[in-house]
Amino acid sequence: MERIEGLEEYPVILDHPISWGDMDAFAHVNNTVYFRHFENARIAYFEALGLTDYMKETGVGPILASTRCRFRIPLTYPDRVWIGGRVTDLEEDRFTMLYRVVSQQHGKVAAEGEGKIVIYDYRAGAKAPVPDSIREAIGRLEGNRGE
Amino acid sequence: MERIEGLEEYPVILDHPISWGDMDAFAHVNNTVYFRHFENARIAYFEALGLTDYMKETGVGPILASTRCRFRIPLTYPDRVWIGGRVTDLEEDRFTMLYRVVSQQHGKVAAEGEGKIVIYDYRAGAKAPVPDSIREAIGRLEGNRGE
Amino acid sequence: MERIEGLEEYPVILDHPISWGDMDAFAHVNNTVYFRHFENARIAYFEALGLTDYMKETGVGPILASTRCRFRIPLTYPDRVWIGGRVTDLEEDRFTMLYRVVSQQHGKVAAEGEGKIVIYDYRAGAKAPVPDSIREAIGRLEGNRGE
Amino acid sequence: MERIEGLEEYPVILDHPISWGDMDAFAHVNNTVYFRHFENARIAYFEALGLTDYMKETGVGPILASTRCRFRIPLTYPDRVWIGGRVTDLEEDRFTMLYRVVSQQHGKVAAEGEGKIVIYDYRAGAKAPVPDSIREAIGRLEGNRGE
């Protein structure tokens, strides 16, 4: 994929259309829709990691503990967005995802946000460490940028 | 529950608030929201029948085969709606549900619709007859009005 | 655009991704999402007709009077859909739109439906005839297939 | 209204049903729905302030600049929630709202969050001070708790 301005650091990028019905009575895309965009990036990232399959096999998977969004410019229909997702702050049993939504019509960042992901062992009913295979996959996907 | 004009024939009636975000850029409640209201009445009706529990135990449960809605007056925030659900046309392996959405602010029917429900045996992968216990529960709920 | 099987008769076709969050607790795309797809086709069709601009200039525009959907196969994430829209039954003050949603993963029609569109003069507060320019645009878009 | 545990400090409290369709494929209420709850509390608070009417008259109104949510326990259907909204950190041209969602079934806080609201003069196209009448209404609603 060509480099998209504002998303150079994002290994997972989705291309998503704005629906007319995404707009609310202020004729702007409603704030809840941005969290749907973040979710799409999160799920795509998990699939790229193999985390979705890992969860089916082991019962160990992600929980969204918190999330937030800062709105920069309003989105309107018609438009398309690039949705970027990346991982930062990989810790023992959790990591942070950063999200960025770019308006293709305006060529500008429309919103950015983050989510805190905790790894949970659903069978044991307790937090669990980030599995090694997932940790390595994150490293590959993020390109070991610190090195 | 007191009798609600326009819903005298509906054994299941829900009271639901309109959210500001239900409105779209025309500042009317969006058409997709009416089908969410219908779904709420459908699920509540299934629970009243014991169909939700029956499905968990047996793998035999309902599929929404088709649905439709006729819009009569636009809904806007703020308002609350009564949502009615009833069953008609109980056949061998299917039945029809009628839905009605009443604006509490206007005291008028805002929309009415229907859904065709087919009974499916998820384990056998085939249509199945409406179970006798469910058939009887429908009879009780609808009060054998024809008699 | 290349011909898409099942959508040969549809002059307006959209390509839309399924979001993970479109699925409900049955792990199938929720019924309300199909009506969002239909809406996307409807709005795109109106734009192709120039009806959206016409409404802004004159106050004469479309109302969705009723809609329906028949569900054929369940949709799941990940997938993409083609959404087709066409007009039939062009009458004095109304027309019918047909919609079809095709799963790209399965190469099959997932759902089909229709909507009844009534033309309304919002300034006069009354139904209005389909404007001549819109009538001609529908004819061009549908390709005068009857001739 | 009686005092609701966990919402003693919240002057605006809504009672809202969980819809079956609020749940996603994990059979938990989807994260985007919490932001709809927050929005409902925000809009109800604005109405209590007279800010909605003020905006219609003057073109000066609120913008949601950022929002966030921390998820504590998962919500499932059937349940109802109390949604609380309050204002803190009233500044020159902005204020912060705190939100809290309480599960009625569990009697526990399901989520809490906040939103940063900026006052904007839509006609002038620039930030504006919080109007005096709104500032006073916030003081009355929050009960001058600091005094």
The alpha-carbon gap from A29 to the nearest alpha carbon of chain B, in Å, equals 9
- Whether D143 and chain B come into contact, CB under 8 Å, resolves to no
- Whether D30 and chain C come into contact, CB under 8 Å, resolves to yes
Q: Hey, where are the domains in chain D?
A: 12-142
State the Cα–Cα distance between residues A48 and B65, nearest whole angstrom.
Answer: 35
pLDDT the model gives residue B70:
98
CA-to-CA separations, D79 to B56, C22, D20, in angstroms, rounded: 19, 21, 9
Predicted confidence (pLDDT) at residue C2 exceeds the cutoff of 90: no
Burial class (CB in 10 A: 0-12, 13-18, 19+), D95: buried
Range A106-127 average pLDDT: 96
CATH for the stretch C12-140: 3.10.129.10
pLDDT the model gives residue D2:
60
Chain B contact partners (≥3 CB pairs within 8 A): A, C, D
pLDDT the model gives residue B147:
38
DSSP state of B23: B
The alpha-carbon gap from C9 to the nearest alpha carbon of chain B, in Å, equals 22
State the Cα–Cα distance between residues B38 and C114, nearest whole angstrom.
Answer: 18
Sequential pLDDT tens for chain B (147 residues): 567 889 999 999 999 999 999 999 999 999 999 999 999 999 999 999 999 999 999 999 999 999 999 999 999 999 999 999 999 999 999 999 999 999 999 999 999 999 999 999 999 999 999 999 999 999 999 985 443
Range D51-76 average pLDDT: 96
Chain D partners of C34 at a C-beta cutoff of 8 Å? none
pLDDT in tens, C62-81: 999 999 999 999 999 999 99
Indicate the pTM of the whole model: 0.95
Which of A18, A23, A28, A29 to mutate against chain B (most B CBs within 10 Å)?
A23
State the Cα–Cα distance between residues B1 and B83, nearest whole angstrom.
Answer: 13
pLDDT the model gives residue D5:
87
Range C114-140 average pLDDT: 96
Predicted confidence (pLDDT) at residue C1 exceeds the cutoff of 60: no
Determine which helix (DSSP H) or strand (DSSP E) holds D99, and give its type and residue range.
strand D94-103
A32-36, C5-9, D91-95, D106-110, range with the lowest pLDDT: C5-9
Are B39 and B66 within 8 A, CB to CB? no
Predicted confidence (pLDDT) at residue C147 exceeds the cutoff of 70: no
The number of angstroms, rounded, from the C-alpha of D103 to the middle of its chain's C-alpha atoms is 16
Range D1-21 average pLDDT: 91
Q: Contact D17/B14, CB-based, under 8 Å?
A: yes
pLDDT in tens, C8-34: 999 999 999 999 999 999 999 999 999
Name the nearest CA neighbour of A62 among A121, A6, A7. Answer: A121
Tally C–D CB contacts below 8 A.
Answer: 22
pLDDT the model gives residue A144:
54
Q: DSSP letter string over B62-77?
A: EEEEEEEEEE-S---S
State the Cα–Cα distance between residues C145 and C10, nearest whole angstrom.
Answer: 11
- Average pLDDT value for chain D: 94
pLDDT in tens, D118-139: 999 999 999 999 999 999 999 9
Long-range contacts for A136-141 (Cβ within 8 Å, ≥24 apart)? Answer: A137/A48, A137/A49, A137/A50, A137/A51, A138/A49, A138/A87, A138/A90, A138/A95, A141/A11, A141/A12, A141/A45, A141/A48, A141/A49, A141/A87
Predicted confidence (pLDDT) at residue A123 exceeds the cutoff of 50: yes
pLDDT the model gives residue A33:
98
- Whether B71 and chain C come into contact, CB under 8 Å, resolves to yes
Range A85-100 average pLDDT: 97
Orientation of helix B31-49 relative to helix B51-58, angle to 10°: 70
pLDDT interval class at A94 (50, 70, 90): very high
In total, chain D counts a number of residues equal to 147
Range A77-87 average pLDDT: 98
Chain B partners of D39 at a C-beta cutoff of 8 Å? 19-21
pLDDT the model gives residue B20:
98
Architecture per CATH, domain D12-142, reads as: Roll (3.10)
Phi, psi dihedrals of residue A48, rounded to the nearest 5°: -65, -30
pLDDT in tens, C29-39: 999 999 999 99
pLDDT in tens, A32-63: 999 999 999 999 999 999 999 999 999 999 99
Which of A30, A31, A33, A34 to mutate against chain B (most B CBs within 10 Å)?
A30
Predicted confidence (pLDDT) at residue D43 exceeds the cutoff of 90: yes
